[in-house]
Every structure is written in C-alpha cells, then in structure tokens.
Structure 1
Amino acid sequence: MAYLYDTFRLLGSRPLRALWDLDVGGVHHVPRRTGAIVAANHLSVCDEYFLMSAVPRRMTFWAKEEYFTGTGASGAGMRLLMRGLGAIPVQRAGGREALAALAAALPVLRGGGLVCVYPEGTRSPDGRLYRGRTGVAHLAMAAGVPVVPVGITGTDRVQPIGRRLPAWERGAVSIRFGAPLPPPPAPEGSPLRSAREFTAAVMDAVQGLSGLPYVDMFAPPRARTAA
C-alpha cells in the first residue's frame, strides 16, 4: 500500500510546487483512467517528488534494486520509503532478474494504472540526455499501453548527485508531458530491433520536450552506481 505516496500528495505537493516554482505543461496528455507508461529523463533523486506533484493520478515507480537491499539504519529507512511509495525494484544489470520488474508492472498497467520509468536507467551525470534502454518498449508491447514522454529540467540544480538534501533556494523546475506514443505492433522480424526503434522514438520525444543535448550512448557506469 503506497501510504507515503498519498501522504505526500496531500501534505507536501503544494509547498514543493510553490518553493521551486514548478512549471507543468501538457499534463492533459496523461490518460485519466486508463493504463499508460510515463517515461521521463532522469536528472535528480528528487524527480519522483516533482512528478508526483505534477500528475493528478498515483504512479508506480521503477526504482533500482539497491534501494531495497541496503543495510543499517539508512538502508532500512530507504526500504521503508520505497515500499511506502509503492515502488517496484529493478535489477539494472538486465537479464532474467530484470524481468521481475516487467512482471510486477504488468498488473498495474492492465488494471488501468500508471507506471513511471526512466529509460536512461540512471541519473544523468552531466545534465545531458543519454540513450534509452529497451525496457520501456518491452513493457509497452507486453501491456499494450501507450508511453507518455516527459521532459524534466531544473531538478539537477535542486538536488545534484551526491547531495543528501535539496537546496532550499528558490528555483525553477519544468516538467513537460508530450502526446502519448502508441505501443509498437507485434514485430514481423526481430523483436529487439522493434524495441530499439520504439525506444529511440521515445527518447527523441523526451529530448524535444526537455531541450537537453542528446548523447547517443548509455550513461557511463559511474553514474549508474550513484543513481
């Protein structure tokens, strides 16, 4: 039960929007009652909270598996937070372990819910947009739901990588939602090629919404360990 999600929406959303001048555009593209994938670029650990404030529906987030396996008091606190937000753990190394995240997301989407993913797989280390991974395409094809591209800017200034708490100075954060991209049809040839082409289309839309420079490579490993 995502009890912390609902608590944040009730008590924290309005102050967050005011303090950092959150500017939201195109949120009408998010379906009101049907399932969809919300695919955004990833600049900061606080992206989730701004997205939660921008979207009037509950979303289920994919979150890296390390958030659920930490040790000590900080690890326990992070597990409590992730479970309270209703997040789904993702094994970023790929392979069979990563399929568990797809399996967990399918009932949410087929039940008319929203699942938010970051196709880059990690936070950007330098504010640029990196190549997307194909999980978003495989999930869209399996669930038969559209993907709503999202461009986020400004959150890397609110809470840069390595900073535990956000900067409390006023600043502008922008979130732009684009028109939904219908899931690709069942491929006649290679499913991997179809997934790559669809992922490229998603990232092209995200780049257009965010205005961030695009890097045609996966985010470097050092960013993945920090995300």
Structure 2
Amino acid sequence: MASLTFYRNAKRFLVGPAINTVFRPWVKGLDNIPAEGPAILACNHMSFSDSVFIPVAVPRPVRFLAKNDYWKGKGFTGKWNRWFFDITGQIPMDRSGGAASQNSLAAGEEALRHGDLLGIYPEGTRSPDGRLYRGKLGVAHLALRTRVPVIPMALIGTDKVQPINRTIPRVHRVGLIIGEPLHFDAYYANADDRFAQRAVTDKIMSQIMRLSGQEYVDIYASVKKRMDAGGQGSPSSS
C-alpha cells in the first residue's frame, strides 16, 4: 500500500471516529477476516460510501479495485480524489473490457500475491435500485488464479446514507455482515475457463444474497442502467 502509516492514522484519528460517532455501524462475523495473508472481500455495492464503511469496520487495511473515473476528475476535486486514492493504495479498474480490464485485474492479482486484502464489488457498479445484480467474472478470475479465499460480505443500509446522485450523506445507521471464507479447490485447475469462472462467481453472489437479503436480478447492473436510460442491453451476457 502506498502509505500504510497514512491509512492507519486516518482511520484511527479521523475517519474512524467520525464514522463510528455519526453512523454507529454494527458488524457481524468479524472473526471471518483472516488475521494475516491475502483474501478477497466480495461485497454488494449500493453507495459511493461503501468504500468508507468497509475499511473502518475491518481491522486490516483493505485495498479496492475502484473505477478509474475517480482518477480522471478535473480541478481541485479531481486532484484531491487522485491524491487520496493513490495515497491509500487503491487500484484503478478500467471497466471497458478487453486488455484494459485485464491489466486492472493483473494489478489486483499482484496485490493479493503481496498478501493484501482486496475489496471487490462483483456487480461492477452500484445497484440502481437496491437489488443485487449478476456478478462479473473478475472476482472469480482473481480467486482462481491466486487460490486465495473469498469472503462474502453484505452492507446493510448504505443506500439510505448516500444513494446514487446524492453528494451529501444522510445520517442513517448501517451494518456489515461478513460471511465465512469460500474456497474453490475443485475449480483451480480450470482457472481460465469462463464456465468455471461463471460457476464460482454465481456461488459468491449466492452467498452475498443470503447475507444481504436482497432480491437477486440475473442481469448486470450496468445493463439495467442502460435500459433505464432508454438504451439497449443484453441480459444474457456472460
């Protein structure tokens, strides 16, 4: 991580106390987070603030695959975002597909091989309506190539704190449920097989759904957003 000291000090003296005082988050299953060694934290995604609540709740530093748009902003806000995401060791994720997305996953793989905790939102984008959408294959790609455990997690109530298009958060109590680690030994020999990756991804999403209690929708959230905007999407994409 770019600055572990900065991360820990910000969490201990600034962000952590503020979040705990204002939002009073509750956590279940914290003992499922390994004390050391790499793991993937796979979580539902309902709010921009999700990536703030998780690091406050989890004792170890967490790196996230974050959409690369956060590094492209202009003006003071853009510079601030780039500095903050860089200094906390976050990894820009290109979601355009192809080689760009593969390079982003390679950076996530490197972080896991370094022994880090890597946070991933398998849906690839925030839920447009509070439901849980189909997971993309990147989480399985990383889990099978690195053979690290995947820890399913569910955030509760963050969509009430900061729904899409809302800049200033509302005060609302939130929760985090952390499930037992998942291992996929039977699939390791077929790490690059898309059918194996789909099976693993669906198992992960099933556990997230069980923890969150969300209704599951078997299309990508990005497709749903395009459909809502009047565009076309293919609900059968892998």
- State the partner residue of 1:180: 181
1:93-132, aligned counterparts within 5 Å?
Answer: 93-132=96-135
User: Alpha-carbon deviation of 1:84?
Assistant: 2.0
* 8 Å contact kept, 2:47–2:164: yes
Q: Normalising by the residue count of structure 2, what TM-score does the alignment of the two structures yield?
A: 0.87
User: Alpha-carbon deviation of 1:189?
Assistant: 9.8
Q: How many residues align?
A: 222
What's the CA shift string for 1:24-61, capped at 9, x where partnerless? 00011111111100000001011011101110000111
* 8 Å contact kept, 1:152–1:210: yes
Query: Does residue 82 in structure 1 map to residue 92 in structure 2?
Result: no
State the percentage of identical aligned residues.
39
Letter matched to residue 201 of structure 2: T
In structure 1, the gaps of 5 or more residues are none
* 8 Å contact kept, 1:36–1:147: yes
- State the partner residue of 1:47: 50
- State the partner residue of 1:196: 198
User: Alpha-carbon deviation of 1:93?
Assistant: 1.7
Letter matched to residue 164 of structure 2: I
User: Alpha-carbon deviation of 1:174?
Assistant: 1.1
What's the CA shift string for 1:156-181, capped at 9, x where partnerless? 111111111212x3x22010000111
Partners in 1 of 2:162 and 2:6 — Cα distance? Answer: 20
- State the partner residue of 1:92: 95
* 8 Å contact kept, 2:209–2:216: yes
Query: Does residue 157 in structure 1 map to residue 171 in structure 2?
Result: no
* 8 Å contact kept, 1:146–1:181: yes
- State the partner residue of 2:20: 17
1:25-64, aligned counterparts within 5 Å?
Answer: 25-64=28-67
User: Alpha-carbon deviation of 1:70?
Assistant: 2.0
C-alpha spacing 1:186/1:48, structure 2 compared with 1 (3 Å):
same
What's the CA shift string for 1:4-24, capped at 9, x where partnerless? 532331122133123212010
